[in-house]
Structures are given as C-alpha cells and as structure tokens.
Amino acid sequence: MSDADALAATTQAPSQRIQLSEIALIGVYEISKILTAPTRLETTLANVLNLLSSFLQMRHGTIVLLADDGAPEVAVGAGWSEDSLSQTPQRYPERAIGQIVATDVPLVVHNVADHDLFDASDVAALASDGVKVSFMGVPIRAGDRVVGTLTVDRIWDGESVFRFDSDVRFLVMIANLIGQTVKLHRVVARDRDRLIEESHRLQKEITKLQPAPASGVRASGIIGESPAIRSVLDKIAIVARSNATMLLRGESGTGKELFARALHEMSPRAPKAFVKVNCAALAESVLESELFGHEKGAFTGAVATRKGRFELADGGTLFLDEIGEISASFQAKLLRVLQSGEFERVGGTKTLKADVRLIAATNKNLEEAVRNGEFRADLYYRISVVPLLLPPLRERSSDIPLLAARFLEQFNEENGRQLAFSKQAMQVLKSCYFPGNVRELENCVQRTATFAAEESIVAADFACGQDQCLSATLWKGKASADPWPKAVGGLGPFSAPPPVEAYREPPQLARPVAAPSNAESVEAAPGTQWPESFDRGDDSERARLLEAMEKSGWVQAKAARMLGLTPRQIGYALRKHAIEIKKF
C-alpha cells in the first residue's frame, strides 16, 4: 500500500467506523431476536447465517458445532432446512476450521487459492468460477471451551485491512451470542434427557412395587373373586418378583398346580419353561432320572442321553408336586441341588448347573413328618422359604357359583349341550361342604350334567337328593383328622384349627380320640343342657349315637343335627361312651 493510499484510508476511517458501528449494532439486535426464538437449533443457526449474508455480502456461510469428543456434530449453512437432512452434509474446509478450534483465534485469508490450509477440493468448492475468494472464521465459545466455528467467504475485491478487522470483530460478537445459545440448548437437552431417564426409572420402580391385580392371573385358569383368593393372589404377585423358593400347602383339590403356574407367569421367568413333576407318581430311581437326566447306557433302556427336568427348566420354574412323598435318600440328593444348583445325570460324571426357581407343593403335614424323622429338617427349611396355605373351597363358598358355571360351560362345549343351573340347584351347590374341594365340585357338576334330563339343572338332579352322594359314600365309616391347621396370615407359623362353630355349615371332620380308661370319668362341661329326647342313662344312647354316626358318614356335625345336639355335645357323648372315631 502506498503512502497516499494509507493517508486516504486514515482520512476515511472515522466516517467508516461510525457507519460500520451502526450496522454492527443493528445486526447484533436482529440476530439476538433470532437466537431467542423458540425454534430448532439448526433452524436458528441457519436463520443467523441468512441474516449475516445481508450485512457482509458473503457468498457462503457455515456454522460448525463440535461434540464433546471434538468431532463435528452439526454443520449448518445458509439456506439450511429440515428437508435437507437427508441430503449431502454442508461442505466446509476442515483444515481451516481445525486451526481455528486448535488456536482459539480468528482466521483471515485474503485469497484461499494461495493458502496452504485450503486444498484443491476446498478451492474448487469456494472459488469454482475462478474468482479470488477471501475467508474469515472465528471460534464459537461456551464458557472457556470452543464449541464450534462461524465462517464466511466472499469475493475479494482488494478491500482494505480495516474492512477485514471490522468484519472479524462483528463476527466475534455474533459468535459469542451463538455460543451462549448453544450452551443453553445443551443444558436444556441434558436436563430433558435426565428427566426422561428419571421418569423411566421411577416408572419401573412403581411397576416393581405395585402388585399385579388378581384379575391378571386368569390365564392360569384360577377362577374366583372371594377375599381368600384375592389375598392368595396378592401374596403370589409379591413373591413372584423374587426367586425365593415357595411351598404351596393345602388340602387335595385346592389347585396347587394352577397357583404355581400363576406364580411363574407373574414372575420375570415367564418367557422360560414351566416344568412340573409329580413326585408321588414315580419310583425313586425313575424320579432321579426324570429330575437329573441320564447318560446313554446308564441303565437298561437308556438308549440315548436324556436331559432331566432341572435342565429343561433352566431359566424358568420347576414345580415339584407331592414333595412330602419322596424318600429319605432322595431328599439328600434334592437338598444338594437346591443348595448348590449343581447335579450330575444318572450314570454321568460331569457336573451340570441349572438356574431354576423351585415351587414345591404338598398336602402332607411336613412339620409332623420332620418331628417323626420322615422328612429332613434342612430340606424343609430350604423349600419352605415362603409357605402359602391355599384356602379350601369351604372358605371361599362365594366362588362356588363361578366355578360351577365354568365347569358346566366346559361340559356344554365338549358335549354340545346348553345346560344351565336353576336357582335352587345353585343353592344346593353353595350349601355343600365339598371335602374334595374344587376337584370334587367339578366331578359333581359333570356327573349331574350327564344325567340331567332337561336343559335346566334342578335340585333333584343332584346325587345327594337321591341319597347317592359320592362324598357321603366315601366318608361313610371313615373320618380323618383335619391335617390342615390354619396358618396365621397364610405365611406364618401353624396354630391349632378353629372349633367347629367357626364354619358356616360345618361338617367338621372329627379327629381320632383315644378311648378313656374309665368312661364314667368323661363328663359334660358345666352348664351343658341335653335335649330330653336324648337319654343319657342306658345303652340305647350308645346305639343311637353309633347309628347316627354311621348314617352321617362319621361327620360329627351331621350326626349332631340328626340327634338334635350341638357339635360340642356330641363330642362329649362320643368320649363318654368310649366310641373311637374310625380313621380314614
């Protein structure tokens, strides 16, 4: 530059500074409005570049934002739109931008064709028509970090150094505004991601803590809405979240397998297999092969290697029914598997492992079996981590109509009939004791439906109305000690059974009573009033008592009603006459 040119530039500088400062102020104001608009970040940056083109006479403008690892994350040019996302990304001179980021200072290049930061492809993209192109770039900072660059290029017409300096200062101001906007967007994005993640975590926790409703177990075939059933299902829903071993207790016919399957379906193991084994139905040698598998040639008939039920249930649930019937020697083998999860196939030496959730079931009084040395105490504690007593049908009589209707529906589907219960027939079912529980109810419904002459089942169709009740025949001359004391809360220690009076219509199965050595020593409780029709003084009383017990199938409550006595009075009378209750 000559001395004359320098003097001219110095003379014109004050007026140019005033004009450029006004332009810069207007530009900062307009761009600040764009940056505060509630739009997508890429759209905001593209709008900034579009506005800059009117202030700086630029040909191209690019904003590049960096990720946390320093790699380019966003590249936006003037005219960017969401429709251009699928197109080729905005091209930018990587080496020039890399220097701006590394040095954290602006870069000004008068002619990109003469600078070593621009390769042939960059020159071809920026100066494709052979004109001289100048380049300006400034860093975008967020705090003390460089988070991107703002670059522009334009045709170089030999403008003065002063023009470059003023434009760079203007770009630095804009870059600072962009840096604050980018920082705010990233803070908001991080908070949004954190809140979404926290919301998902809390939702999972709520799902874990909230027991599944009882109605969600219908797939397992459990029918009933009584408080007793809802209580059992609520406990199962809680236990299903863990891998704790569960022991299902209850009388025969209460549906232990159905509840075991419900526990499996409500647990995280539901996608895996549910495998069941009836321990009482298999001999010890066969049971060992069934559970642990066997190798080829392990015994006669073992023509191939076979996986056992533990292997088949890997990752799922194994249900061992009638576990109280296994022998003492097999109890030791089962205990080892439950403690270590390891076993060997019959005839094999390789130790195998299986991840199995065990559910056991029994209608046997295991506590008494442990006291008598028939069942190992250590195995009892292993399988009875969570004991659950299933309610007998007499304690959920409100479910009888639902169960009976379902059994009749199945009968109609299988036999092509359209039978229905009359109100009187349903009353007969609801008043029955059903010592065989749900299994006996199903038998009763199917037998009655088979012999029903009309489309509506009436009270006279039932076998009990014809003195052919299977329960009465089964229990006639037999009685059983009720093996199922009530459990406190269904999960606690066992206590004594409730008195007969606690049942609604109680044919309580009487316990065996040893005959006293001196019958005369048995007296009624003080204040006991005997009906006049029951003579206490001669042998006819004993004969009538025996006759009533035989007719009632040795059910004390029925015999008491026949003789006009209370269950307590007939109990005293049986002991007074040294009548031993016959065992079932």
Alpha-carbon span 411 to 387, nearest angstrom:
34
Report the SS3 class of residue 419. Answer: coil
Residue 354 · residue 344 · CB < 8 Å: no
- At 166, the pLDDT band (50, 70, 90 cuts) reads confident
Alpha-carbon span 96 to 239, nearest angstrom:
64
State the average pLDDT for the chain.
77
Report the chain's terminal Cα–Cα distance, integer Å.
124
Alpha-carbon span 32 to 364, nearest angstrom:
82
Instruction: Quote the pLDDT of residue 584.
Output: 45
| pLDDT tens figures, 296-335 | 877 777 778 888 899 999 999 999 999 999 988 889 888 8
Indicate the pTM of the whole model: 0.48
Alpha-carbon span 427 to 464, nearest angstrom:
13
| pLDDT tens figures, 33-88 | 888 887 888 888 888 888 888 777 788 888 998 887 778 888 888 666 655 544 44
Alpha-carbon span 209 to 401, nearest angstrom:
33
| Region at 365 (left for phi over 0; alpha for psi -120 to 50; beta for the rest) | beta
The two structure tokens encoding residue 54: 């009117």
The two structure tokens encoding residue 46: 């593209």
pLDDT above 70: residue 521:
no
Residue 369 has a CB neighbour count (10 Å cut-off) of 16
Of 583, 556, 571, 575, residue with least CA distance to 517: 575
Following DSSP, what letter does each residue of 145-179 receive, concatenated?
Answer: EEEEEEEEEEE-----HHHHHHHHHHHHHHHHHHH
| pLDDT tens figures, 437-483 | 898 899 999 999 998 888 899 888 888 767 677 776 665 544 443 44
Q: Which domains does the chain have, with CATH numbers?
A: 13-189 (3.30.450.40), 217-389 (3.40.50.300), 394-466 (1.10.8.60), 488-576 (1.10.10)
Instruction: Quote the pLDDT of residue 269.
Output: 92
pLDDT above 80: residue 173:
yes
Instruction: Quote the pLDDT of residue 148.
Output: 92
Give the angle subtended at the CA of 253 by the CAs of 249 and 256, to the nearest 5°. Answer: 45
Least confident of 204-208, 253-257, 391-395, 473-477: 473-477
Residue 76 has a CB neighbour count (10 Å cut-off) of 24
Of 352, 340, 419, 348, residue with least CA distance to 382: 340
Higher pLDDT, 519 or 200: 200
Instruction: Quote the pLDDT of residue 389.
Output: 92
- The phi and psi torsions of 452 (rounded to 5 degrees) equal -65, 130
Alpha-carbon span 489 to 492, nearest angstrom:
6
DSSP 417: -
The two structure tokens encoding residue 484: 């199922």
Instruction: Quote the pLDDT of residue 513.
Output: 36
- At 275, the pLDDT band (50, 70, 90 cuts) reads very high
* Helix, strand, coil share of the chain (percent; to 5): 50, 15, 35
